[in-house]
Structure 1
Amino acid sequence: HPLYLHVFNCLVISYVNYWSQIIDFLSTIIDNRDVIAMLIQPLLKLGLVDRIIGLLTTELERSPDEKLDRSGSLDLVLHFMEELSAIHCVSKAMTSNDRLIKVLVNMIKSPDKVEVASYCASVVIVISNILTDGKHLVPKISRDLPFLEGLLEVLPEVPDDDQARYALWSILARILAQVQATELNSSSLDRFASLFSGKFGLIKDDLENQVVDEEKLTPEDALLKGWISRC
C-alpha cells in the first residue's frame, strides 16, 4: 500500500539521519587521541562494529527507487569505517566479525561494479587495514578467486588515489605471499595463473608507473615486485 510504503520510507530516513549525526560526531572527535582513547573501548563493548556493519548492509540492500540520498549515506558509512579501521583496537575487533568480512568481500566480488565503483577505494582500504591485524584471514581470501578477480578489476577505479592503490597492492602482496607458501594442486594453479595472465598488462603497467622507494618496501611488497619483474 502506498501509505505504508511512505511511512516506512519516513522511518528509514529518520533512522539513517539519526546515525548520520552520530557518525558525524564520532568522525569529528576521532582525530583527538585523548578523547577517542576514552570512548573507543566503551563504544566497542556497546557493539559499534555491529552497528556500522548493520548500517552498511541496510544501505547496500536499499532499493534504488527509495527516495533517499543513498550515495551520500553509503559514502558516509564507508568513510567512517575507513577511519575506524585505522584504529588498532577497532581493526582487531573487525577481524573477528565474519559478517563484516563477508560483506566487504562480496562488495569486491560483485559483478555489478557500476554502482559501487566510487566506493571501492574505501572498501579496499578497510580490507587492507583489517588484514594488518587479521593475518589469519589471508589463507581464506587467497583461495577466493572471484574476490581476487574483483580486486584486480578495482585497479582502474582508483588510479589517482594513492592510499587506495597502496591498500590494494598490499592485499595482493599478502595473497601472493600466501599462495607461494601453499602447495596448490594443478587445477588451482592453472586457474590462478589464468586469472593473473588475463590482467597482467594492467598490473604491470600500473606497477611500472609507480615510483617505489626500495628501502621502504615491506617483505610482502618486495615479493610482489619481484614476482612481477620475473614475469
Structure 2
Amino acid sequence: MAVPADPAIEEEEEEEHSGPTHHPSAPSHEFFDLSTTVDPSYIISLIRKLLPSDSASEEGDAPPSASAANGEHIESSMKKSENMDVDVSSEFSDRRRECQGRGDDGFGVRNSGVSVGEDPWEECGCVLWDLAASRTHAELMVENLILEVLLANLGVCNSMRVTEISIGIIGNLACHEVPMKHIVSTKGLIDTIVDKLFLDDPQGLCETCRLLTVGLQSGESITWAEALQSEHILCQILWIAENTLNLQLLEKSVGLILAILEGQAKVVDALLPPLMKLGLASILINLLTFEISKLTSERIPERYSVLDLILRAIEAISIIDDHSQEICSSEELFRLICDLVKFPDKVEVGNCCVTAGVLLANILSDVADHASEVSQDSCLLAGLLDIFPFASDDLEATNAIWNAIARILVRIRETEMSPPSVCNYVSVLVGRIDLIEDELLNQQESLSSPGSTADAINTSLRRIISILNQWTAAKENTESNGNAEVLVSEADINKLLNCCRKFLM
C-alpha cells in the first residue's frame, strides 16, 4: 500500500525525516508524540522484507536452515495485513539514492560491503530506521516483531552495512519507553548488541555506542550496565576511545563513557571502579591533551563537541568520592585546564570553558596548594571572569566559578606586591566592570541567602575592594614622589568600588 499522498502529511513526514537517511540521529523529545503518518500495513511490509530468509532467497545464498526456520516462524507470528506489496523504490527514491553508493563515508571508510542483492534490504532498513524516530511507529514495529527480525539478521549477516542499519534501527527504537522494554526482554538481543563493540567498522561501532548510551540513560540502565561489566568489554570501550582516528566514533565512544559516569549510582558503582583500574583517568587526560593542542593550533569546529564531552567526563569523575583525587592530583590536567580557562576566543568554545571553570574549582577545592600557585597569574583570573557570560543559565557553574575566584583572590598578597604587579590585577578587574556587575545582578538571590555561594561572592568582593584600595594608595604614593603614571582610570576604579560595596552583604 502506498504512503498517503496528502500534501500536509507529506510535509509533516519530510520534517520528521529531515536528517540524513543513512545515519539518522536519535529522536529528540518533540518527536515522541507524533501521530502516525504511514499506513501500518506499509510498515509491516517493510519488516517482512528484512526477514533473513527473504534476503537470502534474493541473493541466491541461503543462510543456515535454523535461521530460515526462525524467519518463517517470525513471519507467521506477524499481524496479518492486506495490501502488503509496496513499491519502496517509487515511494522513497530520494532516500534510496542517499542510502546507496556512499563510497567514502567522510571518515576514510569505504562502504563497499553491500552487494547488489542486498540493496532492497538496505532500502527498507533505511526507511524503518527513520520511521523508528516516531514513538507511534516504533511501538507498531516492536509489536510486529522487528526486534526478532533484526536479531536474526545480526546473527547470520556478515555485511557491515546491514549490521549498521540493524543497530541503528534498534537505537532509535530504544529512545521510546515501550520499545525499550521490548528490547530488554528480547532474549539474547542485548548480548548480541554488546558483542558488536568488536566490529571492525567505524559506522557500525558508532551506532553500537549510540545504542548503549541510550540504554544507560534509560529506565533500564541497570540491565545495560550488567551487560557491560565484563573486563574485556570495558577494555574494548576504552580501546576504541583511545585509538580511533574517526572523529564521529571518538565522539560516540566518549559519549558512552560519559553516560556511565553520569548514570544512576548503581551503574557508576558497578562500572567506574574497573574503568579506573583499566586507566580511564589517564586516557581521558591524554585525549584532552590532544584536543586542546588541536584547538590552539588548527581551530577545527567539528572537534569542539568532542572536547566538551571529554571535559564533562573528567568533571564527572572529579566529584565522585574515592576517584576524584586521581583526577585532581594530575599536574598535567591542572595545566591543561588553566590553559583552557585562559583561552582568548571563548565564543568558539564557550561551553567547554564553562566546564573547565567548574573543573578548576573542583581541583582547587581538592588541592589547596594549586590556588597559591596560580594566585600570581592575573590572566587566569581574567579567564575565569570572562566565563561568566557563557554560564549565565547555569547556576551551579557560576557558583563553582565564584568559589574558584574566591580561592585565588584570598591568596593574593597585594600589600607585598610591587605597584606594577598590583596594577595588573586592577587592570583585569576594572576592565571587566560591566561583566562583574551583570553577574552580581544575576546572583542577587544567592547573595540574600546564606550559603557557600554567598560566602564565595562576599569573600571575592572584599578582596577586590582591598586590591583596589591598595592600588589607590600605591598610586598616591607614586604621585607624591613625582613618578605618576596613569595606567588605570580613577573613574573606573571608583565605579567598581561602588559596585562591590553595593552588593557586599
Which one of 202, 209, 229 corresponds to residue 442 of structure 2?
A: 209
Structure-1 separation of matches of 2:281 and 2:432: 34
Distance between the aligned counterparts of 2:299 and 2:452, measured in 1? 47
1:196 equivalent in structure 2: 429
TM-score by length of 1: 0.80
Partners of 1:120 and 1:160 lie apart in 2 by: 14
Q: Compared with structure 1, are the counterparts of its residues 162 and 51 closer, same or farther at alpha carbon in structure 2 (3 Å cutoff)?
A: same
- Aligned-pair RMSD on alpha carbons? 3.2
1:159 to 385, 392, 407: 392
Contact 2:375 2:411 (8 Å CA) reproduced: yes
Amino acid at match of 2:441: E
Partner-residue secondary structure (3-state), 2:393? coil
Other structure's SS at 2:344 match: coil
Q: Measure how far apart 1:158 and its partner are.
A: 1.6
2:501 maps to what in 1?
Answer: 229
- Map residues 119-198 of structure 1 onto 2, 5 A cutoff: 119-179=352-412, 183-198=416-431
1:15 & 1:197 partners in 2: Cα distance?
A: 42
- Post-superposition offset of 1:112: 2.7
Percent same amino acid among aligned pairs?
A: 30
How far the C-alpha of 1:99 sits from its partner, in A, is 0.9
The residue type equivalent to 1:187 in the other structure is P
Unaligned runs of 5+ in 1: none
Asked if structure 2 preserves the Cα contact closer than 8 Å seen for 1:138 and 1:178, the reply is: yes
Tell whether 2:315 aligns with 1:82.
Answer: yes
Whichever structure has more helix as a proportion of its residues is 1
Aligned pair count reads 224
Rg larger in structure: 2
Gaps of 5+ in 2: 1-106, 110-201, 203-242, 466-499
CA spacing shift, 1:45–1:207, aligned 2, 3 Å: same
Residues 89 and 188 of structure 1, relative CA distance in 2, 3 Å threshold = farther
Tell me: higher relative CO, structure 1 or 2? Use CA pairs within 8 A at least 6 residues apart. 1
Counterpart of 1:224 in structure 2: which amino acid? S
Asked whether the equivalents of residues 260 and 272 of structure 2 are also in contact (C-alpha less than 8 Å), the reply is no
SS in structure 1 of the partner of residue 349 of structure 2: helix
CA contact (8 A) 1:107 1:116 kept: no
Query: Given that residues 124 and 167 in structure 1 are in contact (C-alpha distance below 8 angstroms), is that contact kept between their aligned partners in structure 2?
Result: yes
